[in-house]
Chain A
């Protein structure tokens, strides 16, 4: 069986896709080296729009309204510009409520779209362009420490990694976020609270990496400007030692984090990368089977987020507290406990 996996690797080479939300222009080529802040592709996003009911404003039927319209499809107009006018004794005018471009007409109504909003997609990570998708994005190959998260708030950040807690079981609290946190990406432990989020906004941190998040704070965390990447799940969940140790060893280095979630098209997981472009990384082998000695992590309570090593692979099925009998592995966890865990609830750490 293919077991799911999470990459928690101190030095590997990965390929990071960078995609525009809609068609645009790719401005780098294959083989080109890029820096994190460098723009690799750009597009424009739709802005505001108004439907202007010309027929109603002029007091005429939709069929008749067309003859009073003074603008053409595609024409740019400024706010207050006259869009349609009906002469006679009671002269009536229909004006543009906003700056924009006329993009449609039908049944006595005009569609006025505000100017589009430019969007520039940065590389986020230093690396080399290895592929481009016409008008859509690029694929960047980069080397460094790489950790996959389980949930993200849809934002991305680049900054200096700063350990905010001493151990993986501690929660990130407001008092740990002082002025020195400005512009950094903070590493919390088992969770964070509302005050910590407020303080992070106040101190203008660039991002937060944390083991778990309380479910009631999800909307608030989704709304903040900076990236938040959760490594274990929802609730109070100590960050797994494998992740915490690796992050601690990278304290003070520049880090890119992406909280982009799996989208409708099905996609990538949130990630954390500490770039080391001059090094050469170990390849990841996702198809390798689980064996004695494999590094794994629990995905359900009571072993949620605890990393460990496979001690035995018992044949057949073993009994769980629930009464289910399932195939699995005996794992020696990093907290020294030993337990049987069904394969369904294990992931390999690569």
Chain B
């Protein structure tokens, strides 16, 4: 890590799949602030084929905003000299294609499930999964053909606990070798072996002449233990080597930077780590979610340990095929109006064809928000089993106690109203307990993570200086009651000494004023069957709350959130909740 005290201005380029953002962070008196930011289309693909074109365009916009010269004669001016140039430049990327992966293993519910979670540690797309199914007569031929036809970047071979099954793993390795041998050398995959430790040498010998073999610890060394770290680290390294470094035009950007290229999800992870370390409360986790155009990242920290998960589907790329696989009902149940299936399919496909566009009509907006809910739920299905929440675990099968929650990514941040963003996140995440929710409105979170690797103090200072916008404090009681029953009583004591006594009714989203910059003390008394994370069901207490753009929210809809089965009733309920959060 670089931590040069002389660094006073840092330019960060964040190249997403669709939009490239450039942010300028500078020292202003005793703190660091983002003084300017600009966006351009990402220009990695045809007709530009150079990610630098968009970055330079955005830098030129920053020059216009600040009146400073940053770029001259084809290069970024660094270090800073008076009003010219910057002290440091960092590039973070999520624009490249994910690594295409084939998983091969023995038992879908065991080693292959672990392999899937290992793959989710960075930007990957699983193209095929190999395991012996009862009905597959010639699996080797099918496996070899798949390797030849798909030509994946990586084959992740797992299976067999350490000292366990060997022959079925060798059979898989054999088919992979045959399939890879039919590919041109430049197209052959890397074989990442993370299975039975006893087979390491044999696998390396068997495949080493055909493909590049990487051997790491078993992802499932025993039937009840999962060990994902080494496989995840190798996959991230391969993503950096094979994708980030081969991004068209990235060489020029790299030459301006004193830091290696960074995947955007890792930068988000660093911000969430910082948020956890601010409180260092082992009974709380911190969470960051980033719904982008082509990926959804989930970063969670419990007891100072980071858990990072990336799904290669976002608001634009992925939902159309996701709906094919999971059914349209998963989207339609979140829609406050009636829709034809064709209309939704067309909308999702058109969004994929033009991923940078935004909805102009409310109907289209509802569909996009429904998609975000499902992308979040899907990303959590992969992420949750990898978490060791420890003391933050409140109720099995539900979210752990998370505070704060950080929301990032164009998929959410571009929502027209803060209440819509909050409602979407509440529906998608279904948090429990008491959480402060921040919105990365200026889309600077990943940049802050990158800055943290060059000047941690600057990142911390910028975060404290209001880069992240609070949406409010959310109380989500866990329990069951009849619609309309009072499940929580609360006295809100404002800073000026005034107070407000309120009640929350089961099935409702209740919102009370607590404006940005305001703080309050909450005296909460939940019903004896409801748990708000203060020591068990019925336990309440005094809690400090901060205000935000939405306010103080009690999500009294129950956990897990259940929507009415009758479509008309469901739509009426959704409309009511949308109204509650401000339309």
Q: Are B45 and A1 in contact (CB under 8 A)?
A: no
Interface flag for B237 (CB, 8 Å): no
The answer to whether B358 and A46 have CB atoms under 8 Å apart is no
Contact of A344 among B140, B356, B416 (CB under 8 A): B356
State the main secondary structure of chain A at its contact with B: loop
**CB of A235 closer than 8 Å to a CB of B:** yes
CB distance from B314 to the nearest CB of A (A): 16
B242 within 8 A of A: no
Q: Can you list, as one digit per residue, whether each of A293-327 has a CB less than 8 Å from chain B (1) or not (0)?
A: 00000011111100000000000000011111110
Report yes or no: B361 in contact with A302, Cβ–Cβ below 8 A: yes
B206 on interface, CB distance cutoff 8 Å: yes
Query: How far apart are the CA atoms of A109 and B177 in the complex, in Å?
Result: 12
The answer on a CB contact under 8 Å between B416 and A267 is no
CB < 8 Å: which of A51, A301, A325, A341 contacts B364? A301
Q: A267-B45, A323-B417 are in contact. Are A344 and B357 (CB under 8 A)?
A: yes
Q: Looking at the complex, which one of A286, A299, A322 makes contact with B357 (CB distance below 8 Å)?
A: A299
Contacts of A39 in B (CB 8 A): none
Q: Which one of B35-43, B227-235, B513-521 is at the interface?
A: B35-43
Tell me whether B46 and A233 are in contact (CB under 8 A).
no
Does B41 lie within 8 Å of A1, measured CB to CB?
yes
User: How far apart are the CA atoms of A22 and B184 in the complex, in Å?
Assistant: 8
- Contacting residues of chain A (34-74) with chain B, CB-CB under 8 angstroms: 46, 49-51, 53
Q: Does B144 contact A (CB under 8 A)?
A: yes
Contact residues of B between 353 and 371, Cβ < 8 Å to A: 353-354, 356-362, 364-365
Q: Interface 1/0s, chain B 184-211, versus A by CB < 8 A?
A: 1001000000000000000000100000
Is there a chain A Cβ closer than 8 Å to B54's Cβ?
A: yes
Task: Check A103 for interface membership: any CB of B closer than 8 A.
Answer: yes
The answer on a CB contact under 8 Å between A344 and B361 is: no
Decide yes or no whether B499 CB sits under 8 A from chain A: no
Interface centre among A107, A215, A304 (most CB of B within 10 A): A215
Bound-complex Cα distance A107 to B172 (A)? 12
Contacts of A323 in B (CB 8 A): 416-417, 583
Asked whether, in the complex, the Cβ of B353 is within 8 Å of the Cβ of A345, the reply is: no
Pair B45/A322 contact, Cβ less than 8 Å: no
By the criterion CB–CB under 8 Å, are B182 and A49 in contact?
yes
Instruction: List A contacts of B43 (CB < 8 A).
Output: 2
Our pick among A104, A266, A302 for the contact of B45 (Cβ within 8 Å) is: A266
Closest to B141 in A: A51
User: B46 to A268, Cβ gap below 8 A?
Assistant: yes
- Residues B358 and A267 in contact, CB atoms below 8 Å apart: no
- List residues 232-285 of chain A with CB under 8 A from any CB of chain B: 233-235, 262, 264, 266-269
Beta-carbon nearest neighbor of A268 in chain B: B46
B181 touches A300 (CB 8 A): no
Interface size on A, residues (CB 8 A): 51
Are B184 and A50 interface neighbours, CB within 8 A? no
- In the assembled complex, A146 has its CB within 8 A of some CB on chain B: no
Name which residue of chain B comes closest to A345, CB basis: B357
- Report Cα–Cα, A321/B365, bound state, in Å: 10
Q: Say which residue of B47, B346, B358, B361 sits within 8 Å of A215 (CB atoms).
A: B346
Q: How far is the CA of A40 from the CA of B343 in the complex (A)?
A: 43
* B148 interface hit (Cβ, 8 Å): yes
State whether A264 touches B97 (Cβ < 8 A).
Answer: yes
**A23 close to B (CB within 8 Å):** yes
Evaluate whether A106 and B353 lie within 8 angstroms (CB atoms) in the complex, with A214-B342, A324-B358, A324-B416 already known.
no
B358 touches which one: A4, A23, A342 (CB < 8 A)? A342
A-contact 0/1 string along B147-184, CB 8 Å cutoff: 01000000000000000000000100011011001101
Which residues of chain B come closer than 8 Å to A111, judged between CB atoms? 144, 178, 181-182
| Nearest CB on B from A338, distance (A) | 15
What's the minimum C-beta distance from B354 to chain A, rounded to whole angstroms? 5
The residue in chain A whose Cβ has the minimal distance to the Cβ of B181 is: A104
Any chain A CB within 8 A of the CB of B345?
Answer: yes
Minimal Cβ-Cβ distance residue in A for B47:
A286
Interface residue B145 (Cβ < 8 Å from any Cβ of A): yes
Q: Is B458 an interface residue (CB 8 A)?
A: no
Contact B178 A106 (CB under 8 A): yes
Select one of B181, B345, B361 contacting A103, CB under 8 A.
Answer: B181
Task: Report if A300-B359 is in contact (Cβ < 8 Å); known contacts: A2-B41, A107-B170, A323-B417.
Answer: yes
Contact B46 A341 (CB under 8 A): no
Residue of A with least CB distance to B365 = A322
- The reply to whether A150 and B353 form a contact with Cβ atoms under 8 Å apart is yes
B305 CB-CB contact with A under 8 Å: no
Kindly state whether residue A141 has any CB partner on chain B within 8 Å. Answer: no
Known A46-B148, A301-B364: A322·B46 in contact at CB below 8 Å: no
Taking CB atoms and an 8 Å cut-off, the chain B residues in 385-415 that contact chain A are 414-415
Bound-state Cα–Cα, A103 to B144, Å: 13
Closest-CB distance, A40 to chain B (whole angstroms): 20
In angstroms, Cα B178 to Cα A50, docked, is 10
* Max chain A Cβ within 10 angstroms of own Cβ: one of B40, B49, B184, B346: B346
7 closest A-B pairs by CB = A235-B346, A324-B416, A323-B416, A266-B45, A215-B345, A234-B349, A233-B350
Given A299-B357, A322-B365, A324-B415, 11 new contacts (CB under 8 A): A2-B54, A4-B354, A51-B144, A107-B170, A216-B342, A233-B349, A266-B45, A299-B354, A344-B356, A344-B358, A345-B357
Interface residues of B (CB under 8 A from A): 39-41, 43-47, 49, 53-54, 57, 61, 97, 100, 138, 140-141, 144-145, 148, 170, 174-175, 177-178, 181-182, 184, 187, 206, 248, 342-343, 345-346, 349-350, 353-354, 356-362, 364-365, 414-417, 583
What are 12 of the A-B contact pairs (CB < 8 Å)?
Answer: A1-B39, A1-B57, A2-B40, A2-B41, A49-B145, A50-B141, A51-B144, A264-B97, A264-B100, A300-B358, A322-B359, A345-B357
